[in-house]
Amino acid sequence: MSGTLPLVGAPADRVDGRRKVTGTAPYAAEYPLAGLVYAVMITATVGKGRLTSIDVRDARRVPGLLAIMTHENAPRMDTKAAPEHTSQELVLLQDDIVRYDRQPVGVAIADTFEHAVDAAGRVIVHYAAEQPAIAFARGERYVPSAIFGEPPALRNGNPDAAIAAAAVRIDNVYTTPVYHHNPMEPHATTAVWNSDGSLTVYDATQGVDTDARTYAHHFGIPVDQVHVIAKFIGGGFGCKGTTWSHAVLCAMAAKFVGRPVKLVLARPQMFSSVGFRPQTHQRLALGAGLDGRLRGQIHAATTQTSTFAEFIEPSALISQVLYPPADFAISHELVRLNTATPTFMRAPGESTGSFALESAMDELAVALAMDPVELRLRNDVTTDAHGLPFSSRSLRACLTQAADRFDWKRRTPQPRSMRAGDQLVGLGMAAATYPAHRSAASALVRVAADGSVTVQSAGVDLGTGAYTAFSQVAAELLGVPLANVRMELGDNTYPTAPVAGGSQLTASVGSAIKLAVLDARAKLLALDDGRGESYAAILTRHGLANVEGRGDAKPGNETKTYAMHAFGAHFVELHVDESLGTIHLQRIVSAFASGRILNAKTATSQYYGGITFGIGMALLEQTHFDARTARIMNANLSEYLVPTNADVPPIEVIIVPEEDTIVNEIGVKGIGEIGIVGVAAAIANAVYHATGKRIRDLPITPEKLLTVA
Ligand code: MOS
């Protein structure tokens, strides 16, 4: 019997791999329920105004039409999110106000998908459109009262004076645009009201428990009357971390027509009511001595929210972690714009904040004529801006190991000094960090007399490999083959789990599984007589079908006494064709220290995915709004550009082994988000090195390279 987990777990193949590639893994839109009918959302075509009339006469002629719900006939509902929910205030056909482009204004329900699409397209909506606020200069500006329960600002000492007195100063504004999540699987919901009044929902959600609570809240029913199932989802990146309007509208439609209803968002509707990463405007001011040591730092972020709900992109928090000097300040400010409500998107805060901080550090290195790796090493810290010691911090190892593998020392620091034929060569780097979150979670482990092990938790596998990693935890700790473990996830009737977001699922549920295994093992040991029998033999001898272990894990006092974060570093080589303004990535080497790694293969895939997401953020992705109407102009994947194979260079990931006994029971820090953090800055820094042009406004498109002096 093995009692511990290896620091880096075996690169086991995905236990759900065969089901995924054979199309037998069921997604939310793939439950062929008897009597199922189809709902299609009708969405607004202006970003601000009122509905003056909705003409459904032509739509009613479509055969198979069951109903068209609009604000004129929809059941009355509470649109407010309950305080403990992760959902936002929703738009549920309760009034005639248009709050954002592509807001749901109706739902067509028909016997077939085609009939529902046809009917939705025939609904004629008239608006009294108003001038929207889509730019920061035009929206209502305010300081939020808190970020996720924490103060939105921190001020230590006198950073203004410290920066003013410093030998070298950097003070610039960095901006990032709106980005939309585009998981392969669009949002989808299949809802059925059962004869006992309970609701069953097959949902594309990152969290079945929070999802169930949201339905219970809006429909005014007890949460035990809501059964949410999310066995497989095709990515989420944060947009499926929250239950949005369309999902509740699907359940509303099912009630309205008395049939099971399926509602799937079309790709353009993925730019509607399901969140996005808000645009940011960040002032980053640094003052340093000639030795490179930071004397003062200010990181002030302005981000956007909607007119009817609040989401804060916590861009400045990363400055509290990487190199905070004694004289230090961060702050966050919001502007209300006529858009849907933004939300969590891969490394919310750190993705955008790292672009500002790690670009500014590069600018400081240039001003000091100091190597940017050396500058970061000199500013390594032992406590965060709150004075908390790190539970573990391997930034130094990440920087040096990735620099070595990349062969950073061949870089000549002068911009425009390296060439390959007619291409300018740029080498750039940046550091990364992401918090090691966890939340309370539970798990059940059942060891059966036939030798099988069943593990249950409500947690959702986003597509990250959670089924596999959790199976490995149970198999390792029980000392049984991986194939003996049956991992069951994604059902709110299983022991509770938090949303698979904030890179917290593995730490949260993995810890619960460990405790559940220890509980089951203790029960088995009590039955053992020391003959060295297998679990199956022990259970058979006692005439037992199985034993069950239960694990309830939750964060403890360590969250108040330690700063707990994963760290990383990226090194990028790229070529720039100066006559065209095009950038060709050549190579990325990244090192990460994220505590214990449960599966080297799926973990590396997460890092690849995060880095690839960072390439999109740096060079390609951007949502464009028409300032006159607030209409999104590129709500499709032909004009909203994401990296394709040809855009992604060879990526080499170094896993820096790290043992952290404080962070949680299994020592994992989370890997889903840190991969994107710092990538945009590393690319921007490489572009500067290649060209001498400092682009502080993402994405770095050819026209910017051609026009910036
Ligand atoms: Mo992640 S953006 O917290 O799902």
Q: What is the pLDDT of residues 435-472, one digit of tens each?
A: 999 999 999 999 999 999 999 999 999 999 999 999 99
User: Angle, nearest 10°, between helix axes 350-368 and 679-691?
Assistant: 30
- Residue 501 Cβ < 6 Å to ligand 1: yes
By percentage, how much of the chain surpasses pLDDT 90?
95
- Listed range (85-99, 201-215, 244-258) with the worst mean pLDDT: 85-99
Q: ω before 699 within 30° of 0 (cis)?
A: yes
Contact, 648 vs 585, CB < 8 A?
yes
pLDDT digits (tens, 9 = 90+) for 210-257: 999 999 999 999 999 999 999 999 999 999 999 999 999 999 999 999
pLDDT digits (tens, 9 = 90+) for 545-574: 999 999 999 999 999 999 999 999 999 999
What are the backbone dihedrals phi and psi of residue 39, each rounded to the nearest 5 degrees, phi first? -115, 140
What is the position in ligand 1's atom list of the atom closest to the CA of 499?
A: 4
Contact, 324 vs 385, CB < 8 A?
yes
In the DSSP assignment, the letter for residue 578 is T
Burial of 109 (0-12, 13-18, 19+ CB in 10 A): buried
What is the position in ligand 1's atom list of the atom closest to the CA of 347?
A: 2
Assessment of whether the complete model's pTM goes beyond 0.95: yes
Query: What does the alpha-carbon distance between residue 430 and residue 690 come to, in Å, rounded to a whole number?
Result: 16
- Residue 502 Cβ < 6 Å to ligand 1: yes
Burial of 298 (0-12, 13-18, 19+ CB in 10 A): buried
DSSP run (H or E) holding 445: strand 441-448
Mutate to test the pocket of ligand 1, among 210, 313, 673, 674 (most ligand atoms within 8 A of CB): 673
Query: What does the alpha-carbon distance between residue 634 and residue 640 come to, in Å, rounded to a whole number?
Result: 6
pLDDT(21) > 60: yes
The mean per-residue pLDDT over the stretch 99-115 comes to 98
Query: What does the alpha-carbon distance between residue 522 and residue 539 come to, in Å, rounded to a whole number?
Result: 13
pLDDT of residue 1: 41
pLDDT(84) > 80: no
Length of the chain: 709
pLDDT of residue 81: 79
Which of 358, 573, 621, 673 is labelled catalytic?
Answer: 673
Distance, CA 503 to ligand 1 centroid (Å)? 7
Give me the chain's average pLDDT, please. 96
pLDDT of residue 83: 72
Contact, 332 vs 147, CB < 8 A?
yes
Mutate to test the pocket of ligand 1, among 182, 239, 345, 461 (most ligand atoms within 8 A of CB): 345
pLDDT(2) > 60: no
What is the position in ligand 1's atom list of the atom closest to the CA of 237?
A: 4
- Residue 348 Cβ < 6 Å to ligand 1: yes
- Residue 166 Cβ < 6 Å to ligand 1: no
pLDDT(91) > 90: yes
Query: What does the alpha-carbon distance between residue 287 and residue 594 come to, in Å, rounded to a whole number?
Result: 30
What are the backbone dihedrals phi and psi of residue 21, each rounded to the nearest 5 degrees, phi first? -80, -15
Neighbouring-strand partners of residue 584: 575
pLDDT digits (tens, 9 = 90+) for 293-317: 999 999 999 999 999 999 999 999 9
Half-sphere exposure of 695 (CA within 13 A, CB side): 29
pLDDT(669) > 60: yes
- Residue 183 Cβ < 6 Å to ligand 1: no
Return all residues near 414 (Cβ < 8 A) that are at least 6 apart. Answer: none
Amino acid at the residue 425: V
- The two beta strands, 485-488 and 453-456, are parallel
pLDDT(88) > 90: no
- Residue 296 Cβ < 6 Å to ligand 1: no
What's the angle, vertex CA 138, arms to CA 134 and CA 141, rounded to 5? 105
673 is catalytic: yes
Closest CA to 417 of 686, 690, 694, 708: 690
Mutate to test the pocket of ligand 1, among 346, 462, 617 (most ligand atoms within 8 A of CB): 346
What is the position in ligand 1's atom list of the atom closest to the CA of 672?
A: 1
- Residue 49 Cβ < 6 Å to ligand 1: no
Q: How far does Cα 660 stand from its chain's mean position?
A: 24
What are the angstrom distances between the C-alpha of 704 and each of 521, 564, 645, 708, 709?
A: 61, 38, 24, 6, 9
- Residue 344 Cβ < 6 Å to ligand 1: yes
Distance, CA 236 to ligand 1 centroid (Å)? 8
The shares of helix, strand and coil residues in the chain, as percent rounded to the nearest 5, are: 30, 25, 45
- Residue 345 Cβ < 6 Å to ligand 1: yes
Query: What does the alpha-carbon distance between residue 631 and residue 125 come to, in Å, rounded to a whole number?
Result: 16
DSSP run (H or E) holding 327: strand 327-336
What is the position in ligand 1's atom list of the atom closest to the CA of 500?
A: 4
- Listed range (76-85, 110-119, 134-143, 614-623) with the worst mean pLDDT: 76-85
The mean per-residue pLDDT over the stretch 326-349 comes to 98
* Residue 207 tokens, joined: 């969290």
Distance, CA 54 to ligand 1 centroid (Å)? 37
- Residue 434 Cβ < 6 Å to ligand 1: no
Contact, 159 vs 282, CB < 8 A?
no
pLDDT(523) > 60: yes
Q: How far does Cα 551 stand from its chain's mean position?
A: 26
Distance, CA 360 to ligand 1 centroid (Å)? 26
What is the position in ligand 1's atom list of the atom closest to the CA of 343?
A: 2
Contact, 505 vs 546, CB < 8 A?
no
pLDDT of residue 406: 98
Half-sphere exposure of 43 (CA within 13 A, CB side): 24
Residue 197: CB atoms within 10 A of its CB come to 9
* Residue 86 tokens, joined: 């992760």
Indicate the SS3 state at residue 572: strand
Of the chain, the end-to-end C-alpha distance in Å amounts to 65
Query: What does the alpha-carbon distance between residue 658 and residue 398 come to, in Å, rounded to a whole number?
Result: 11
Contact, 698 vs 175, CB < 8 A?
yes
pLDDT digits (tens, 9 = 90+) for 376-429: 999 999 999 999 999 999 999 999 999 999 999 999 999 999 999 999 999 999
- The two beta strands, 327-336 and 140-142, are antiparallel
| Residue nearest atom 4 in ligand 1 by C-alpha distance | 238
Distance, CA 585 to ligand 1 centroid (Å)? 26
The mean per-residue pLDDT over the stretch 41-58 comes to 97
Query: What does the alpha-carbon distance between residue 130 and residue 338 come to, in Å, rounded to a whole number?
Result: 10
What is the position in ligand 1's atom list of the atom closest to the CA of 346?
A: 2
Q: Name the pLDDT band for 86 (thresholds 50, 70, 90).
A: low
* Residue 17 tokens, joined: 């791999």
What is the position in ligand 1's atom list of the atom closest to the CA of 236?
A: 4
- Residue 311 Cβ < 6 Å to ligand 1: no
- Residue 610 Cβ < 6 Å to ligand 1: no
- Residue 240 Cβ < 6 Å to ligand 1: no
The mean per-residue pLDDT over the stretch 34-60 comes to 97
* Residue 509 tokens, joined: 């549920």
What are the backbone dihedrals phi and psi of residue 66, each rounded to the nearest 5 degrees, phi first? -100, -40
- DSSP E strand boundaries for 578-650: 582-593
Distance, CA 367 to ligand 1 centroid (Å)? 36
pLDDT(613) > 90: yes
Distance, CA 370 to ligand 1 centroid (Å)? 35
Return all residues near 188 (Cβ < 8 A) that are at least 6 apart. Answer: 27, 28, 29, 203, 204, 262, 263, 264, 265
pLDDT(685) > 50: yes
pLDDT(340) > 60: yes
The mean per-residue pLDDT over the stretch 619-638 comes to 96
CA dihedral 305, 311, 313, 319 (to 10 degrees): 120
Query: What does the alpha-carbon distance between residue 431 and residue 619 come to, in Å, rounded to a whole number?
Result: 19
Query: What does the alpha-carbon distance between residue 130 and residue 133 come to, in Å, rounded to a whole number?
Result: 10
The mean per-residue pLDDT over the stretch 113-129 comes to 98
- Residue 241 Cβ < 6 Å to ligand 1: yes
pLDDT digits (tens, 9 = 90+) for 256-303: 999 999 999 999 999 999 999 999 999 999 999 999 999 999 999 999
Distance, CA 92 to ligand 1 centroid (Å)? 24
Distance, CA 396 to ligand 1 centroid (Å)? 26
Distance, CA 351 to ligand 1 centroid (Å)? 11
- Residue 159 Cβ < 6 Å to ligand 1: no
What are the angstrom distances between the C-alpha of 30 and each of 3, 211, 276?
A: 40, 19, 26
* Residue 420 tokens, joined: 């390959």
Q: How far does Cα 311 stand from its chain's mean position?
A: 14
What are the angstrom distances between the C-alpha of 173 and each of 283, 299, 357?
A: 4, 10, 10
pLDDT of residue 3: 64
Residue corresponding to tokens 């059966």: 448
* Residue 405 tokens, joined: 């593998």
Distance, CA 206 to ligand 1 centroid (Å)? 9
Contact, 701 vs 680, CB < 8 A?
no
- Residue 498 Cβ < 6 Å to ligand 1: no
